[in-house]
Structure 1
Amino acid sequence: MQTTVKSVIRLSGVGLHSGAPARLAIHPAGAHHGIWFRRTDIAGNAMIPARHDSVQTSPLCTLLVNEAGVSVSTVEHVMAALAGCGVLNAMVEVDGPEVPILDGSAADFVRAILKTGVRRLDAPVHAIEVLRRVAVHDGDRTAVLEPAGELEIDFSIDFDDAAIGQQRKVLRLSNGTFVRELCDSRTFCRQQDVDAMHAAGKALGGSLSNAVVVDGARVVNPEGLRHSDEAVRHKMLDALGDLALAGAPILGRYTGVRSGHAMTNKLLHALFADPLAYRIRTLTPSECHLLPGAGLEHDRFAHL
């Protein structure tokens, strides 16, 4: 069955790029509502659909823009948390142009969702079933969707910095895998990129409390990594959040090689441009166990 959160969830922090205070509230919504964002600081057309065709190119995050030009950025972590916890309908209110970065992962969003709980709605789930291979390429970067019985992610990265290097991870996202394996993995960057962004007046809210910073073979954060392969896990987290902009759960295998936000968005455009590559499938109640977030219980993840 379709789902929403049981009650309003409120979180606050700073915007990664502006450094300004940012507040967010996730409200319950009815069946077939989907995920929408609403800017509470904007009068008039403040509603922004969480859809792939609302994405505007941005090098450092996923940026959504409505037809009136109203935007909200850095939506990928909260979108990943909603998808990973099985929340299909919600109104996400933000009081400015950015979702709070919190600790740079999706863990705080996940904790709040699990604590609040998810409510089932009296409507079936419609999923996007991938029927044939779709791929996009950009130099040495690739993103692919292929048929599979449930959502799977296969991600590979390759960085010169020895603290990251080459990493690959493959996961099926059903049965709480996102919450268990990916949600606490933080965004990461290189020290030289941090210096350049700060010099250009960007990433003003970034700090060691909300990002992993590497410098060659060294992890700058005094606490070190949460996982030895935290970097590729975070890329998978981002991929889930960006895939959630399809507007419905995907049944298929996503493969990303040095991929990122823009590549995943291009892939969704390519998928929907080919009517033979997918179909909308209505899931029976017994088939809903295939989805991320199915059967999650707060007590099982109290360690988060």
Structure 2
Amino acid sequence: MKAVILAAGYGTRLQKDIQKDQTGRFEHLQDVAKPLLPVGGCVLISHWLRALTQTACVDQVFVVTNALYHEAFQLWAQEFPSVQVLNDGTRSNEERLGAVACLQLAVNHFAVHDDVIVIGGDTLFKEDFSLRKFTQRFAELQRKSEDGNLVLSYQCKDEETSKYGILEVDSDFRVQCMKEKPLPAETHSRSACPCFYLFSRTTLPLLDVFLKEKETRPLEERDAPGNFLSWLITRRPVYVHEISGRFDVGNLASYTECDRYFREQLQNPDVYLI
């Protein structure tokens, strides 16, 4: 199994917040990629590498970043022999390829023909999440069908449905559809879906099909990984693994909340994510 960490974003909201901040407390975070932000005792992405290494659930980790942050990620990756960093060649948010195209780039560049864990580089989870449990659940699905895929979900608040992709799931925990940022009245579900997926090896060729279909459409229709997931649901079985919640580092407020949790509230750092 392989892992692809999507880290090619430009963190425009966060950087604007840092520039506007009058306290000076966050000046050291200016021009730092979100996955390389300090969270607790290490940078955000290192929490994932520690867990991926200790569980031995993958044998290679590919990090897709951009030309602006490529050197910083290469320096970070020197600690981790299993990591290879791939530059998507862009230098600004306006040039970005989009998350789905970055995933396709990694799959094609490294000739991946294996099941793939896809991780959003700015995302961490609450302590009930376990890589071992998640991959065990995937193995169970694979015994039933090699086409099975597994994603995460957690219960969001009513007023938060319009921020996220919301999954509608049947009694077998199979996803029936995904609604992108619906109003609360537009769905009975509150199952938000973060960017963390386990795609089967038979699903990977569909990345090319999806992007070919969408190549003349606006970037917004093929950028977010949820767009691919929504399209995939009608073509391959997708199931959910439920967790209690996540940290999504989008702006300065969400970053400081995440950092404070990891410095002051994390109960079992030695087994976090494992």
Same fold (TM > 0.5): no
Larger helix proportion, structure 1 or 2?
Answer: 2
Q: Please, what TM-score do these two structures have when normalized by structure 2?
A: 0.33
Larger strand proportion, structure 1 or 2?
Answer: 1
